[in-house]
Structure 1
């Protein structure tokens, strides 16, 4: 495969990349999905909100997807990590960690996001078991339970009304200055939301299930679950390296068709959107693949004039 010019190199094998591979495979395009197999959601046990796949494990989701894509022989899977990319539209060259080289007409980055190291002692032990980032994904399982919300400022004032749809038994721990206005603090008080701004000393848990959050001022907050705002960065530095525009939050800038500012380079999924749900990533990958296919077909048509 590394000696043949691909139509599309997909870098990243999550829901977005897999959906793109399915569309492009059905469009008879030669595609390689380059993915090292270390997804961000590997810590979670179940994927939710994906119609027909609600509750499936991330690993099983990928297994089924690859099995279905296997019906289209023009798509191959490369269990490796892309480490460098160069070239121009129509002839990109991708090098991998294991020394493979791929040439491709187009590139689709579906590299997702990755978490910065968690700076709250004990949070890593419960992440994916009783501590989560998305109530649409995991709020049902923690409905009506006493929860701790770890966030602050504008994010908190968005999240507090949201989580109240699943439980009104939650306490906010901002792990330092709350970055709120007096009016915002009064709003939380009116809704009977306890607020603590003391730094978190540690999270107590047993077998991944949180029992309490202990603050440095001695306050102990019992709870059965946690929602927190992670610090995220783009899952790969390659989009930046090839010249793609990146936002201050680390997202790849694309237009409504998934095109970056670099001709021939596209991106889709979590790396381009704040809609961090598997079904949203899959839809963005599917649409970007259709746009890429149309661009390839139009270019080929033009050469035959």
Structure 2
């Protein structure tokens, strides 16, 4: 994302801080005019379009520390470079904790997904396995039923449900197993079956699971940004954090984990940063 060029000639540098969990995905869905595009191709086109603005540059490096205060930040990178900046925007996304289900990593992004709004259409009416439990399962089960009524729930251990919630699952005739998952068998990333410790074998063509996510970089916390219990950077409606001059946008600052939602949030936050810079320049020249 970028901040529009304006009369004060602010320059923008983009320095990656981590590798996104989106790198696992083959296709990006739900982004009008780019539906089905690969994340790498999406980034290539974005960089090509943004490069038309002379105030924007890209650096293939990793930000490792940030010092300074509003108007005078210094960003150090792993390659020993230092960048000076008046403002900082954290668009560091979220990344996955290591997966502890054998075989899930091989299918993630190919036939195992986290969001039916992004990948449910391709798996509509197919036999699916949902790996989830507790209150979030009671939200997800009705949701996934909009794409397929042929799904089985695997809680991979205690289901964390109340008796009333279990009865609701049974009322909808959805099979549910609490035996731990022994393995996910797949062929070139396409799931074939889920095997449980008790010997149960569940054939399926797709999986939806609850990921364990953490903020894509520790830099927001290191700078003193408020962080929620779920690891999200706390921001106001304009992307401002509690640290003056520091902003955040996208998945790192929202639970709306969709590319188009992240882009929209980034656009609003970029405008807010640009406005703040223009107001400061106006004040100095008056």
TM over 0.5: yes
Report what 1:24 is aligned to: 4
Structure 2 matches for 1:257-296, cutoff 5 A?
257-296=238-277
Report the Cα offset of residue 303 of structure 1: 1.0
Q: How many residues align?
A: 285
- CA separation in 2, counterparts of 1:279 and 1:59? 16
- CA separation in 1, counterparts of 2:276 and 2:25? 37
- CA separation in 1, counterparts of 2:248 and 2:42? 21
> Structure 1 residue 121 and structure 2 residue 121: aligned?
no
- Contact 2:17 2:216 survives alignment (8 Å): no
Report what 1:152 is aligned to: 133
Report the Cα offset of residue 192 of structure 1: 1.0
> Structure 1 residue 221 and structure 2 residue 202: aligned?
yes
- CA separation in 2, counterparts of 1:169 and 1:75? 49
Q: Quickly say closer, same or farther: Cα 1:26–1:135, change in 2 above 3 A.
A: farther
Report what 1:7 is aligned to: none
Report what 1:256 is aligned to: 237
1:179-205 superposed Cα distances (whole Å, 9 cap, x missing partner): 000111111111111110110001111
Structure 2: gaps spanning 5 or more residues: none
Report what 1:177 is aligned to: 158
- CA separation in 1, counterparts of 2:12 and 2:35? 28
Report what 2:75 is aligned to: 94
> Structure 1 residue 52 and structure 2 residue 33: aligned?
yes
- CA separation in 1, counterparts of 2:190 and 2:211? 19
Q: TM-score, normalised by structure 1?
A: 0.92
- CA separation in 1, counterparts of 2:229 and 2:67? 24
> Structure 1 residue 65 and structure 2 residue 46: aligned?
yes
> Structure 1 residue 201 and structure 2 residue 182: aligned?
yes
Report the Cα offset of residue 164 of structure 1: 0.4
SS of the equivalent of 2:41 reads: helix
Q: Quickly say closer, same or farther: Cα 1:26–1:49, change in 2 above 3 A.
A: farther
Report the Cα offset of residue 29 of structure 1: 2.6
- Contact 2:17 2:64 survives alignment (8 Å): no
- CA separation in 2, counterparts of 1:206 and 1:61? 27
- CA separation in 2, counterparts of 1:300 and 1:38? 35
Structure 1: gaps spanning 5 or more residues: 1-17
- Contact 2:179 2:198 survives alignment (8 Å): yes
- Contact 1:24 1:31 survives alignment (8 Å): no
- Mean Cα displacement is larger for which, 29-38 or 65-74? 29-38
- CA separation in 1, counterparts of 2:69 and 2:4? 21
- Contact 1:93 1:102 survives alignment (8 Å): yes
- CA separation in 2, counterparts of 1:218 and 1:25? 61
Q: TM-score, normalised by structure 2?
A: 0.98
- CA separation in 2, counterparts of 1:54 and 1:26? 31
1:88-139 superposed Cα distances (whole Å, 9 cap, x missing partner): 0000111000000011000000000000000000000111110001101100
